[in-house]
Amino acid sequence: MIVTKFGGSSMADAGQYRKIQDILLANPDRRVVIVSAAGKRFPQDHKITDLLYLCYAHTQYGVDCSGIFDMIASRYLAIRDELGIHLDLETELAALKARIDAKTVTQDELVSRGEYFSAKLMAAFLGFQFIDAAEWVKFNFDGSVDLETTYETLKKLVWPDRGAVIPGFYGLMPDGRIKTFSRGGSDITGALAAAALDADVYENWTDVSGLLMADPRIVENPQTIPEVTYDELRELSYSGAQVLHEDAIFPVREKNIPLNIRNTNDPEAPGTLIQERFSADHNPDRFITGITGKKDFTIISLSKRGMSNQVGVLRKVLTVLERHSISVDYVPNGIDNVSVVTPTEALAPHLYTIMGEIQQEVEPDSMALHDQIAVVAAVGRKMAFRPGISGKIFAALGEAGVNIRMINQGPDELNIIFGVDNKDFKTAIRVLYDSFVK
C-alpha cells in the first residue's frame, strides 16, 4: 500500500487533478491521497493558503476581505466546473464567509480550509472516501501530535476496499479547535498517514523530479540525487536545501518506511528515494550526495590570553546567547580564541546588547564581528574514512580564488562545512559541483 501526498502546485488547477488521477490509476497500490491547498499555476499567481492568511489579516484590521475570498472561491469552483464534478461547494463557502464576517473563525481554521476544499473536490473527482484530518490528526495541548490516538483513529477510518483522500496541514486540539502545522505541513500529514497505515512507501509528489544535488538557481541543470539517507537529508536541509517539511521525516523514519520524492509533471522519473540505509551502492564514483548552503551568517570571535587554560569561557559566551534565544550553528575555535557562528537575522536585533554582555561577563582581550558570511556544506555518507576529499574541496576553492573563513567537520564525516564571504557563495557551490559531479 502506498500513501501519496500531492503538494500545492500539483493541486493548482483541473489539469493537475487529471495528472494525479493518471498517477493513481498507474498503480492501484496508491490508495491513500493527502492533498495541499491549490498552489500557484504560474509564477505571479497566488497560493490559496497565502490568500487565506491575507483574508484573516484583513478582518483583524476591520477591512473587508470579500475580494480576496472571491478569488479563493472562484479557484475551487473553476476546478469543479472544469472537471464536471457534482459537488455543492457554494453552501459551505457561503457559511465560511458568514463566519469570517462575524469574526467567529480562528486563523488556523480559516487557513486550513484551503486543504479542506482541495480534498473535498479531489475525493469527489476520484470517487474516493473523504476523511477529514480533524477526525484523526489529534494534537496534545503542547502542540505535539498524539501519535497513538492519531494512528489508531486513522486505521479505523480507512475503508480497505476504497481509496481515501485526506486534507493535509491541520488537525484537532483537545478542546476541539482546529490547529494547523507550520507552513508546508501537509508533508507531515502524509507522513503520519503512511506511518499509521504501515505503508510500504510514502510518495511525496511535487514539481521537481526529486532532490537536486545543488540549487538550480546557482548550478545549471544540477543532477538529481537518486538515493539519500535520512541523516544526509537532515544535513542537506539544515544547511539550506528545502524539499520537505522537517517534521515529516520522523513518523516514516521511525517505522522504516521509504520516502520517495516524485514529480507530478514527470511521473516516469524515479525521483529521490530516502531511507535509513542502502544495501547496494549504485553510484560508486560519487562521493558527494549534495552541496548546499546558506548566506548571511555573523561570526562573533573573541580572544583572551590564556583562554585555553581557563574553564567556563565558552559556557559564558553561550549563556549570553541563550539568554537572548540565539541558536549557535558552529563554534570554530583556536587556542586562545573562540568564535560563534549564528544567522545574522536572529542576532541583529540583540547584537549590541549581546556584545556588551559578553564583554562584561567574559572580559576578552579583544572581540571582533564578521558578517556577510555564507556557510557551504558538502554532504555525503560516502565521504567517511576516504582520505583526500577535503583536500580536493579546498584545492578547488583555492584555485578559484575563494577565501575560506571557517572550516567545520564532524567526526561522523557526513559533511564538510566551510564559511566563505557572501560574495563567494555561488562560486564556491559551482566550484564544488564542477569538481565532484562532472
Nearer to ligand ASP, 190 or 210 (CB): 190
Q: Which residues contact 362 (CB under 8 A, 6 or more apart)?
A: 302, 304, 313, 316, 317, 320
The nearest distance, CB 10 to ligand ASP, in angstroms, is: 10
Nearer to ligand ASP, 169 or 202 (CB): 169
Provide the phi-psi class of 10: left if phi over 0, else alpha when psi is between -120 and 50, else beta. alpha
Nearer to ligand ASP, 188 or 416 (CB): 188
The nearest distance, CB 115 to ligand ASP, in angstroms, is: 6
The nearest distance, CB 183 to ligand ASP, in angstroms, is: 4
Between CA 415 and CA 232 the distance in angstroms is 8
Q: 226 vs 32, 156, 184, 282, 389, CA distance in Å?
A: 24, 35, 23, 9, 21
Nearer to ligand ASP, 44 or 309 (CB): 44
Return the C-alpha cell found at 146. Answer: 498524539
The nearest distance, CB 131 to ligand ASP, in angstroms, is: 17
The nearest distance, CB 210 to ligand ASP, in angstroms, is: 18
Nearer to ligand ASP, 207 or 231 (CB): 207
Sign of CA dihedral 46, 47, 50, 52: positive
Residues 49, 272, 164, 82, Cα dihedral to 10°: 60
Q: Which residues contact 403 (CB under 8 A, 6 or more apart)?
A: 420, 421, 424
Decide: helix, strand or coil at residue 397: helix
Between CA 246 and CA 135 the distance in angstroms is 24
184 closest CA partner among 169, 205, 206, 166: 169
The nearest distance, CB 354 to ligand ASP, in angstroms, is: 32
Between CA 22 and CA 37 the distance in angstroms is 20
The nearest distance, CB 191 to ligand ASP, in angstroms, is: 11
Nearer to ligand ASP, 47 or 75 (CB): 47
Nearer to ligand ASP, 49 or 275 (CB): 49
The nearest distance, CB 247 to ligand ASP, in angstroms, is: 11
Between CA 419 and CA 241 the distance in angstroms is 17
Are the C-beta atoms of residues 326 and 272 closer than 8 Å to each other?
no
Between CA 100 and CA 71 the distance in angstroms is 15
Nearer to ligand ASP, 47 or 97 (CB): 47
The nearest distance, CB 185 to ligand ASP, in angstroms, is: 5
Decide: helix, strand or coil at residue 133: helix
Return the residue matching grid coordinates 559533511: 415
Q: Count of alpha carbons within 13 Å of 371, Cβ hemisphere only?
A: 8
Nearer to ligand ASP, 42 or 385 (CB): 42
Residues that bind ligand ASP (CB under 6 A): 7-8, 36-37, 47, 49, 114, 168-169, 183-187
The nearest distance, CB 259 to ligand ASP, in angstroms, is: 15
147 closest CA partner among 179, 185, 177, 189: 189
Backbone dihedral angles phi then psi of residue 89, each to the nearest 5 degrees: -90, -25
Nearer to ligand ASP, 189 or 342 (CB): 189
Nearer to ligand ASP, 36 or 209 (CB): 36
Residue 431, amino acid: V
The nearest distance, CB 35 to ligand ASP, in angstroms, is: 9
